[in-house]
Amino acid sequence: MVRHLLDVDDLTPAELETVLDRAADIKAAQAAGHGDEPFDNQTLGMIFEKPSTRTRVSFETGMTQLGGHAIFLGPDDIHLGSGEPVKDTARALSRYVDVVMARLFDHDDAEELAEYATVPFVNGLTDDAHPCQTLADLLTIREHFGGFEEVRVAWVGDGNNVAQSFVLGAAMVGLDLTVATPEGYEIDDEVLARADAVGEAPATTHDPEAAVEDADVVYTDVFVSMGQEDRREEKLAEFEGFQVTTDLIGDRKLMHCLPAHRGEEVTDESIESENAIVWDQAENRLHAQKGLLVWMSEQE
């Protein structure tokens, strides 16, 4: 059966645990100088409407390390939804490649690609969701804390795509999560309902200090996401008081999906502190996605 990943709750909690186990095993084997190449002579087609350092390099490198090959399809290489319907792109690519990954603006386009693709499809990011980041986040937390039991995480900032996928992933593994956002930037009610369906929805507040009080980890992301540059001054004003500083972090771990807008959602001092585990997160994009790709290939 062909499996797709539009958001993290397309997996069951047991499947999510299996993907994380696959990722951990692959990471350990690579560190030991071992590993196999299950994707020999296979190709990953990568569609990019939005640029990215981590998504492109981690997927392309991961596919190479698994013995396969990746093709980059940027805005000038493919006419997604303009030169031809999205469903036609999905069907044509499925005749050429073994897996499709797309980093897009509109989540509806990702859903249509998945609907018509006859090979596994992975959502590399949309304006609504970032499941691959959540896989890396959970792998990072599991490594640093030995699991998820009794780990408390505070999300401080925008209830954006990264936050929404993380809310779902946290519910699935049983993380104790509190989300602090300014009014008007909360997690979507529909996402909270889905979190309740797979576990327990997070506590919510508009007070960053209250959110981090009992936390082991503080997680933040940019206040001004890609495509929102014309709203920069407006959003920065609305997020006043939500900047993650060393005082807010205290002795807690700091997570950030990167790239960081230093001086906006987080201070430079915080990112450079010993509390920051952001580079482990970044590295784990590679391992988590390899684990996902291997697991998806086992479902066919």
What is the residue type of 127? D
Q: Residue 157 carries which DSSP code?
A: S
Query: 220-249 pLDDT, tens per residue?
Result: 999 988 777 788 889 899 999 999 999 999
Confirm whether 91 is a catalytic residue.
Answer: no
Confirm whether 221 is a catalytic residue.
Answer: yes
**Cα separation of 103 and 105, whole Å?**
7
In this prediction, residue 245 carries a pLDDT of 98
Residue 169, classified by CB atoms within 10 Å of its CB into exposed (0-12), middle (13-18) or buried (19+), is: buried
In this prediction, residue 224 carries a pLDDT of 85
**Cα separation of 80 and 24, whole Å?**
35
Confirm whether 268 is a catalytic residue.
Answer: no
Confirm whether 214 is a catalytic residue.
Answer: no
Query: 199-219 pLDDT, tens per residue?
Result: 999 999 999 999 999 999 999
pTM over 0.85? The answer is yes
Query: 8-25 pLDDT, tens per residue?
Result: 999 999 999 999 999 999
Question: At 105, which CATH number?
Answer: 3.40.50.1370
In this prediction, residue 99 carries a pLDDT of 98
Looking at the fold, whether 106 and 75 belong to one and the same domain comes out as yes
Confirm whether 69 is a catalytic residue.
Answer: no
Q: Of the candidates 246, 200, 218, 217, which has an alpha carbon nearest to the alpha carbon of residue 145?
A: 217
Looking at the fold, whether 94 and 164 belong to one and the same domain comes out as no
Residue range of the domain that includes 126: 4-130+285-298
Contact 255, 281 (CB under 8 A): yes
Confirm whether 21 is a catalytic residue.
Answer: no
**Known binding-site residue numbers for carbamoyl phosphate:** 52-55, 103, 130-133, 257-258, 285
Query: 114-140 pLDDT, tens per residue?
Result: 999 999 999 999 999 999 999 999 999
**Catalytic hit among 257, 281, 287, 289:** 257
Number of domains in the chain: 2
Q: Residue 11 carries which DSSP code?
A: S
**Catalytic hit among 42, 133, 243, 281:** 133
In this prediction, residue 128 carries a pLDDT of 97
Looking at the fold, whether 270 and 137 belong to one and the same domain comes out as yes
